[in-house]
Structure 1
Amino acid sequence: MQSLKILLLGAAIGSATALPAAASSSSWYNSEGGKVRLVTSGKADAAGRIQGVLDIALKPGWKTYWRDPGDAGVPPQLDISGSTNIADAQLSFPAPQRHDDGYGKWAGYDYPVSLPVVFTLSAAKDPAVIDADIFLGICETICIPVQTRLTVDPGSDPDNAEDTALVKASFAALPTPARSDFGINVLPGDHETLVVEASFPGDAEAADFFVAGERDYMFGSPARSEKDGKLIFTVPILDRPSTTPTDGGLHYTLTSSTGAVEGVLPFP
């Protein structure tokens, strides 16, 4: 079933360009399962950074993916190489939910979601135009990839209160940084497993651990166990690079009944 889903996804790929909007947000791009747009706060800070969101309005029964899409999904991607005075764009992700739809297991969202993004200007005091190629999967029983270009001139409407409020709320909803009483401790594993001990508030049944397969890592669904009163997640390593990276790490999110935290763990 997984290969069928991938084939259906691949056959559905197309592209379109949304008309540019003279505002701190782009026009909506409509697809079968929902619509997407880019929204910005309009103003760069002193360091030349503009906050924004990739706003995904899903129709009922449709879904989209976290930074790690699971067995056969499509993670959201944003390419700003065609932009003017934009050096970088970094997406962030709200805490996901775990799903099994019969075709595969995946982490993501089955409700409208706004993904925060920070745009970094090449020259902090110069005007900028965001010209972003967007690629993400919006899925019901099969995936309909959304591929479009969204354009925003953040300086054209820098005081749009509605856009600013959406951006502010989306950043406020992100997981907070992990801490000693709410986070994970990596335990000894082996070449085929990642093992972590979780600390969190609230009910253990509500806790879940998500780790992103990045840098050629691929992970399966975690198994839960308890040791000395601590919740342990054992995650199968389905694939890994031939050489373990020495820089950076893997993004993770730990959820609980009272909220979520995120961090980066060493490459196993």
Structure 2
Amino acid sequence: MATDKVIRLALAFLMTGSAAAWSDAGPVASEWVQGMNNQVRLIAGHAARDGKTALYAGVDLSMPGGWKTYWRTPGDAGGVPPEFEWDGSENLASATVLYPAPHRIHDKAGDVVGYKNAVLFPVLLTPQDPAKPVTLHGKVAYGICKDICIPAEAELQLVIPPDVGTSGELMDALARVPEHKASDSASPSLAAWHLDQSSGKPKLVLDVAGADPTTADAFVEAPGGIYVPLPKRAADQAGNAVFEVDLTDGVNIKDIKGKPLTVTLIDGKGQSETTITLE
């Protein structure tokens, strides 16, 4: 009888342990897809942004040292912005790609905007039925560059169970995605801006406040793919970083007046995003 009791206790322990392990599932990841001087995969898990926990995937791109890839707006020297397609996915209502804050990279051909060595693009997922798995099928096209630029593409697939766990990698990537306004004093913010037409050559002047103005940078985007040149750093004022955008350099000010412009700001402490309109 004592032996039977021990066996029953052992079975109960094993069943309890198995249930706990099943309910505490971790994040999931696909195999790496190898390309020329790069590799890419999908990861997925739950993560929090703006205090809200949701299901995210991530397009994880890794390159050798010195190689780079591009942001959604590549910069003055041109480049290949990443493209994402989710056709063929199952139990997926929507997928929204988010972009970590980029950096200005000096290139032989000029300045570009992007990422060196590696980047993880978070993708906010909305399942059609949250109680069922999501089969995520992704086609990704992007460019990688060092001395030469190479177009690349990959086809990826990952099954994401409904009880998938929290992903620390996605949490870290989301922390680098600019919020629509500065979330705290450590993030740079647009203290003021104005349109200067005093010289007859219109320019947009951005006054950027932040915890680390010496490392501050700014990027301006117009809707519909309208080109806006990269801001150039001017003389700083009152501890803030001042940037100027030449609105005669490859852009007609009439094409952007009255349209929302997205201003992305970065410094050594954080990043933020805001919208302005030239009336």
- For normalisation by structure 1, the TM-score amounts to 0.75
Specify the alignment match of 1:8 in structure 2: none
- Residues 235, 241 of structure 1: CA spacing in aligned structure 2 closer, same or farther, 3 A cutoff? closer
Specify the alignment match of 2:195 in structure 1: 188
Matches within 5 A, 1:123-202: 123-155=129-161, 158-159=164-165, 164-179=167-182, 182-184=188-190, 185-189=192-196, 193-202=203-212
Q: Distance in 1 between matches of 2:29 and 2:241?
A: 43
Higher RCO (C-alpha 8 Å, min separation 6)? 1
Could you tell me whether the CA contact under 8 Å between 1:42 and 1:155 is conserved in 2?
Answer: no
Q: Distance in 1 between matches of 2:108 and 2:96?
A: 32
Could you tell me whether the CA contact under 8 Å between 2:41 and 2:59 is conserved in 1?
Answer: yes
Other structure's SS at 1:168 match: helix
Specify the alignment match of 2:242 in structure 1: 232
Specify the alignment match of 2:114 in structure 1: 108
User: Please, what is the CA RMSD of the aligned residues?
Assistant: 3.1
Pair 1:266 & 2:266 matched:
no
- For normalisation by structure 2, the TM-score amounts to 0.73
Q: Deviations over 1:27-86 (max 9, x none)?
A: 211111211111100699xx9952121111111121111221113211122111321222
Other structure's SS at 1:84 match: coil
Specify the alignment match of 2:58 in structure 1: 53
Could you tell me whether the CA contact under 8 Å between 2:176 and 2:271 is conserved in 1?
Answer: no
Pair 1:77 & 2:87 matched:
no
Equivalenced residue count is 238
Specify the alignment match of 1:38 in structure 2: 42
Q: Distance in 1 between matches of 2:126 and 2:203?
A: 37
Alpha-carbon distance, 1:189 to partner: 4.3
Q: Distance in 2 between matches of 1:260 and 1:201?
A: 9
User: Runs ≥4 in structure 1, deviation > 4 angstroms?
Assistant: 189-192, 240-247
Q: Deviations over 1:129-172 (max 9, x none)?
A: 1111111111112221221221111118824x7xx222222223
Specify the alignment match of 1:223 in structure 2: 232
Alpha-carbon distance, 1:99 to partner: 1.4
- Residues 255, 153 of structure 1: CA spacing in aligned structure 2 closer, same or farther, 3 A cutoff? same
- Residues 169, 231 of structure 1: CA spacing in aligned structure 2 closer, same or farther, 3 A cutoff? closer
Specify the alignment match of 1:117 in structure 2: 123
Unaligned runs of 5+ in 1: 1-22
Q: Distance in 1 between matches of 2:130 and 2:53?
A: 4
